[in-house]
A and B are shown apart, each in its own frame.
Chain A
Amino acid sequence: MSSVPSLPRCLCLALPLWLLPLGGAAAPASADLNQAWGALADNRLAEAQRVLGAAPSTRPAQLAWAVAEMTRPPVTEAHRRAAERVFQELARGDDEVGAQAEYLRARLHQLHDVPADETGAAGLYRALAARRPHSHWAQLGLVKLALLELYRRPDPADAAADRLAPAEAALAQIEEPALRRDLHLQIGQAGVALQQPLGRLLPHLVAADRLGGLTSAAREDLIVQIGVLSLRAGQLDQAQAYFARYLQDYPANTRAYTVTQLQEQIRRRRAQESAP
C-alpha cells in the first residue's frame, strides 16, 4: 500500500535524487571549488564531482557539478537531462553563472541532443543575447548562432538572398575582438562554401587576419588563402603582400613552391599590363 499512489514507485525514489544538486547541503569551500574547476579543466569529471559532493548548494558549485554531469561517462540521456535541469534553474539568476547556464542549455540542444535540436539552440542563443547582450556567453552564443544561420538548409527561397547578411548583422553586436575575429573568419569561409562573390567575403578574411591571434593551421591557411583569393579577385598588391608574408613565415612548407609560382604569375601579369 503506497502513501502516494498517484506517482510510480521508481519516480518517488528518483525524485529526491533529481533535486540533490539543487538541495541544501553544505557549500564546498572556495578551495574545493577551485580544485573542482581545475579537475574539469583537465577533463577529470568524476574527480570534480567527488570534490563538489552530491549536493552542492552554491550557484557556482551547482554549475560546476552540472558541467561535469553534461559529458560524464557513460554519456546517457539521464545525465544530460540532470544537467539541463540544473542549468535551467541557474539560468533564472541574473549573474555570470546564470549567463553560463543559459549558454550551456543552448549547447546541450545543439551538440548533445540526438538528433541535434538546432532550432531550439538558436532560440536559446537569441534569448540569451536579448537578456544579457554584453555577457561574454551571449556574445559567444551569437557567433554560434551565426554559424547555424550561415549553413542553414534549405536555402532561402529567394535565390538572390544575401547569405552572409544575417551573420554580418550579428557581427555588429559583438564587442570582443577575439570573437569578432572568429566570426569574420567564419563569414569569409562560409562565403566560399556558399559561392558568394569574392568582393563580399575577402574583406572578412582580411579583417580576421588583422585582428590577429590565430594559431597553427588556421593562421597558415588564412595567409595563403587571402593571397590566392586576392589574386583571383585581381587585387594583385594584396595578393603579393600575403604571398611574401607566407614565404617569410612558412618557407619550408610544400605550399611554398606553389606560392613562388603564383608570385611569378603576378609579375608576368604586371609586365603584360605595363607593356605598351
Chain B
Amino acid sequence: MNGRLRHLGLVLAALGYAWALGWVFTRSAPVVASRPVTIRFAHWQIEQGPPDGMKAVIRRYEELNPRVKVEQVLVPGRIYNQWLRTNLVGGTGVDLVEYGVWLDGMTDIPARYFEPITDQMLRPNPYNRGTPLEHVPWVQTFTDGLQYQRVNAPSPGQFYCATMTEVSERLFCNQELLRAILGSDRTPQTFAELRALFPQVTAYAARTGRPIFALAGSRDNASWLLQFLLQGCMMQVSQRNDRYGSLALYNWDALGHYLEGRWSYRLPEARAGLTMMREVSVNMKQGFVQSLRDAATQEFLRGDAVFIFAGTWDGTSLRSQATFPVEVLRFPQPTPSDPVMGPYLYGRFADGGGGTAMEFYLNKLSAHPQEAVDFMHFMTSVEGSQLFTNHSGWLPATRTVQVPPAIRPYYTPLDCYSFGAEYMMIGASVNMAIMRNFHLLVGPQGSVDRFVDAMEAVMPAAARTDLYKEMTNRSLIVRPQDVRLMALAALGRRAPQNAALVLARERLECAQTQSEALMLKMARQLADAGPVK
C-alpha cells in the first residue's frame, strides 16, 4: 500500500514538473530574454491606422536590431494626461512619449521630463543611408522642418522631438447623401455655397422624416471648427499685432497682447468668427456640445450628416468604416463679398498647412536613451515613414516618402496665410474657459453676445494665469541649465580637443539667454498689466 502510494506520489510530482516545464516554455515570458533591451513608446492615436502603421515599423526595426524589443503602448485620449503624468512622476514613464502642447494642464511636462535631442537633429539620420536624404540633417528631413515643435520647444534653439505625420483639417462628405439632397454631386466651393446648402438639408430632413443634419456635431469637432474660423477672422488683428515681424504669433504673444488691450473677443473680427460658428452650429444636431468626437463619427457613418469637419487623423476611420463613398474637401472659405466675414478677410487662411504632428519626446529618465533615439531615427527615416504611411493611411512627416493617391487630398498646398494664433488654445486656462462657455455660443439659447460677455468676464484672470504659467515653465528649464553649462565648461577644459563640447555649451548659453529674455519680457507684461481690477 505504502509503496503504491509512494509510486503515485512520484508520478504526480513528475506530472506536475512536466506541466510546469511546459508552462514555462510555452506560456510565460522567456526564461532568458532573447532581446536584452526593451524600449516602450506610448501614444493616444488609437484611431484606425496609426497602431497598424507603428506595428509595421516595429516589425522591421526588430529585424534590423535583434537585441532590441520595441513595445507600443496605446492609451485612450481620455485618460492620457493622467496616465502620462502619473507615470512620469513615478519614474515609470515609457522611453518615448507622445505629447502635444495643447494638452490641458500639461504645459510643465516638457520642461520637467523631456530631454533635448538637438545634437542628433543637426546630424543626418543614419537610417537614411542610400536615400536622397543621406546627407541631410535629421531636422531637415521633416516636411515642415519641425516648425511647430521648434516654436513650442521649452527652450528656444533646442530640438526635443520627432514627428510621424502631417495633419490638416478637412470636410469629409457623404457623396450619396449629398446627391440625394441636391440631385447633383457638386460640392460647395465657398462659404456662401455652404450657407445655401443648409436650408436644403433641413428641407430634405423634413421631407423624408430622417434626422439628417448638414454637419455631424460634437464638442470636439465644433471646437476644431471654431479654432479654424477664429484664426481666419482674426488674421488682420494678428498681422496688426505682429510687432516683432516674425509673421507668427506665439501663445505668450497672444496672451501678452490681450493684457495690453490689443485684442478681445469683443472685436468685430472676433465676433465675425463667432457669428459664423453659430451659423454652422445650428445646422448640427441639438445638444451636440455634450458629446465627443466618437459620437460625431458615428452620426456621419450612420448617414445622418452630409459632412463632418475633422482632422485628417480621423480620415482612415471615416473612410474605411463608411458604407458610402466619402469625398475629402477643403472647408469652403468666405469670399470678400461674404456679409459676415468679408470686411475682415485678409486672404485664404490655413486649413493645415504643412505642420507635422504625432510627436515623440525622449523621456529624461529613459533607461535606454540611445536605443530610444535609434528607434526614433528609424521610424522617421524614409523606410520607416513609408511603412507607417502605407499601413496607417496617414500622411508622412518625412520628405521623399511616396504618398498613396487616396490620401493626397490631405495635403495643404502653400496657398494660404497663417499667423499662428488661433485665439483659443493659447493657454490651459483660456482654453478651459472657452470650453466651459461654449454652450453659450452654440447651444439652443446661445448667442454671440452671451458668449462674448461670459468670456470677457473671465479672460483678464485667465490670460494672467496662462502668461504666468508660460513664464514659470521656462524657469523650470533655465535653472538646471546652469548645472549643465558648468559641466560642459569643466569637461571642455579637460578635453580641449573636443570642439563638440564648446559648441554644446555655446548653444545652451544662447538658448538660455533667449529663455531668460522671454521670461523678463513676460514678467514686464504681467507687471504692466497689474492685478485683475
Chain B CB within 8 A of A131 CB? no
Chain B CB within 8 A of A89 CB? no
| Distance in Å: Cβ of A80 to nearest Cβ of chain B | 11
Chain B CB within 8 A of A6 CB? no
Chain B CB within 8 A of A225 CB? yes
Find chain A residues with CB under 8 A from B122 CB: 215
Q: In the complex the two chains form, is B493's CB within 8 Å of A190's CB?
A: no
Which positions 246-286 of chain B face chain A at CB distance < 8 Å?
Answer: 246-248
A68 to B487 alpha-carbon distance, docked (Å): 10
Find chain B residues with CB under 8 A from A228 CB: 242, 245-247
Find chain A residues with CB under 8 A from B416 CB: 254, 257
A31 to B407 alpha-carbon distance, docked (Å): 56
Find chain B residues with CB under 8 A from A43 CB: 364, 480, 483-484
Q: Contacts A37-B491, A151-B520, A215-B157: A225 and B150 contacting too (C-beta < 8 A)?
A: no
Find chain A residues with CB under 8 A from B151 CB: 217
| Distance in Å: Cβ of B54 to nearest Cβ of chain A | 24
Find chain B residues with CB under 8 A from A46 CB: none
| Distance in Å: Cβ of A131 to nearest Cβ of chain B | 18
Chain B CB within 8 A of A107 CB? yes
What does the 1/0 interface line of A218-231 toward B look like (CB < 8 Å)? Answer: 10110011111100
Find chain A residues with CB under 8 A from B156 CB: 216-218
What does the 1/0 interface line of A229-244 toward B look like (CB < 8 Å)? Answer: 1001000000000000
The interface size of chain A toward B, counting residues with CB under 8 Å, comes to 67
Tell me which of B150, B417, B491, B527 contacts A220 (CB under 8 A): B150
Q: In the complex the two chains form, is A257's CB within 8 Å of B118's CB?
A: no
Q: In the complex the two chains form, is B488's CB within 8 Å of A153's CB?
A: no
Which positions 501-533 of chain B face chain A at CB distance < 8 Å?
Answer: 506-507, 509-511, 513-514, 516-517, 520-521, 523-524, 527-528
Q: Contacts A220-B150, A253-B354, A257-B414: A189 and B487 contacting too (C-beta < 8 A)?
A: no
Which positions 151-200 of chain A face chain B at CB distance < 8 Å?
Answer: 151, 153, 178-179, 181-182, 185-186, 189-190, 192-193
Chain A CB within 8 A of B350 CB? yes
What does the 1/0 interface line of A99-116 toward B look like (CB < 8 Å)? Answer: 010001001000110000
Q: In the complex the two chains form, is A182's CB within 8 Å of B510's CB?
A: yes
Which positions 360-391 of chain B face chain A at CB distance < 8 Å?
Answer: 364
Find chain B residues with CB under 8 A from A224 CB: 245-247
Tell me which of B486, B494, B513, B516 contacts A100 (CB under 8 A): B486
Tell me which of A41, A217, A225, A250 contacts B157 (CB under 8 A): A217
Find chain A residues with CB under 8 A from B27 CB: none
Which positions 470-485 of chain B face chain A at CB distance < 8 Å?
Answer: 475, 478-480, 482-484
Q: In the complex the two chains form, is B506's CB within 8 Å of A111's CB?
A: no
Range of interface residues on B (Cβ < 8 Å):
35 or more
Q: In the complex the two chains form, is A38's CB within 8 Å of B491's CB?
A: yes
Find chain B residues with CB under 8 A from A55 CB: none
Q: In the complex the two chains form, is A189's CB within 8 Å of B145's CB?
A: no
Tell me which of A60, A71, A179 contacts B490 (CB under 8 A): A60
Query: Can you name the residue of chain A whose Cβ is closest to the Cβ of B146?
Result: A216
Residue from B159, B493, B516 with most neighbouring chain A CB atoms (10 Å): B516
Tell me which of A60, A100, A151 contacts B524 (CB under 8 A): A151
Find chain A residues with CB under 8 A from B118 CB: 215-216
Chain A CB within 8 A of B143 CB? yes
Q: Contacts A189-B244, A192-B244: A250 and B524 contacting too (C-beta < 8 A)?
A: no
Residue from A30, A68, A216, A259 with most neighbouring chain B CB atoms (10 Å): A216
Tell me which of A67, A140, A256 contacts B483 (CB under 8 A): A67
Find chain A residues with CB under 8 A from B150 CB: 216-217, 220
Chain A CB within 8 A of B243 CB? yes
Tell me which of B244, B486, B521 contacts A63 (CB under 8 A): B486
Query: Can you name the residue of chain A whose Cβ is closest to the Cβ of B156?
Result: A218
Find chain A residues with CB under 8 A from B483 CB: 40, 43, 45, 67-68, 70-71
Chain B CB within 8 A of A64 CB? yes
Which positions 9-29 of chain A face chain B at CB distance < 8 Å?
Answer: none
Residue from A112, A151, A252, A261 with most neighbouring chain B CB atoms (10 Å): A252
Chain A CB within 8 A of B359 CB? no
| Distance in Å: Cβ of B202 to nearest Cβ of chain A | 36
Chain A CB within 8 A of B320 CB? no
Q: In the complex the two chains form, is B247's CB within 8 Å of A255's CB?
A: yes
A37 to B414 alpha-carbon distance, docked (Å): 48
| Distance in Å: Cβ of A58 to nearest Cβ of chain B | 12
Q: In the complex the two chains form, is B506's CB within 8 Å of A213's CB?
A: yes
Q: In the complex the two chains form, is A252's CB within 8 Å of B144's CB?
A: yes
Chain A CB within 8 A of B333 CB? no
Q: In the complex the two chains form, is B507's CB within 8 Å of A37's CB?
A: no
A173 to B475 alpha-carbon distance, docked (Å): 28
A217 to B518 alpha-carbon distance, docked (Å): 14
Which positions 39-71 of chain B face chain A at CB distance < 8 Å?
Answer: none
Which positions 404-446 of chain B face chain A at CB distance < 8 Å?
Answer: 414-419
What does the 1/0 interface line of A130-150 toward B look like (CB < 8 Å)? Answer: 000000100010011001101
Chain A CB within 8 A of B165 CB? no
Chain A CB within 8 A of B393 CB? no
Chain A CB within 8 A of B174 CB? no
| Distance in Å: Cβ of B418 to nearest Cβ of chain A | 4
A250 to B475 alpha-carbon distance, docked (Å): 30
Q: In the complex the two chains form, is A147's CB within 8 Å of B517's CB?
A: yes
Find chain B residues with CB under 8 A from A150 CB: 517, 520
Chain A CB within 8 A of B158 CB? yes
A112 to B478 alpha-carbon distance, docked (Å): 10
Q: In the complex the two chains form, is A178's CB within 8 Å of B513's CB?
A: no
Query: Can you name the residue of chain B whose Cβ is closest to the Cβ of A176?
Result: B506
Find chain A residues with CB under 8 A from B506 CB: 178, 213
A55 to B494 alpha-carbon distance, docked (Å): 22
| Distance in Å: Cβ of B61 to nearest Cβ of chain A | 25
A178 to B489 alpha-carbon distance, docked (Å): 15
Q: In the complex the two chains form, is B145's CB within 8 Å of A41's CB?
A: no
A172 to B509 alpha-carbon distance, docked (Å): 19
Given A41-B484, A178-B509, A253-B354, 11 more A-B residue pairs with CB atoms under 8 Å apart are A43-B484, A64-B486, A70-B482, A150-B520, A190-B517, A192-B243, A217-B153, A218-B156, A229-B245, A254-B353, A258-B247
Q: Which 6 A-B pairs have the closest CB atoms?
A: A228-B245, A217-B150, A41-B487, A151-B520, A40-B487, A254-B353
| Sample (21) of A-B pairs whose CB atoms are under 8 Å apart | A40-B486, A43-B364, A43-B484, A107-B482, A111-B482, A144-B516, A147-B513, A148-B520, A153-B527, A178-B509, A178-B510, A182-B509, A192-B243, A216-B150, A216-B156, A217-B147, A217-B156, A217-B157, A252-B143, A252-B144, A253-B147
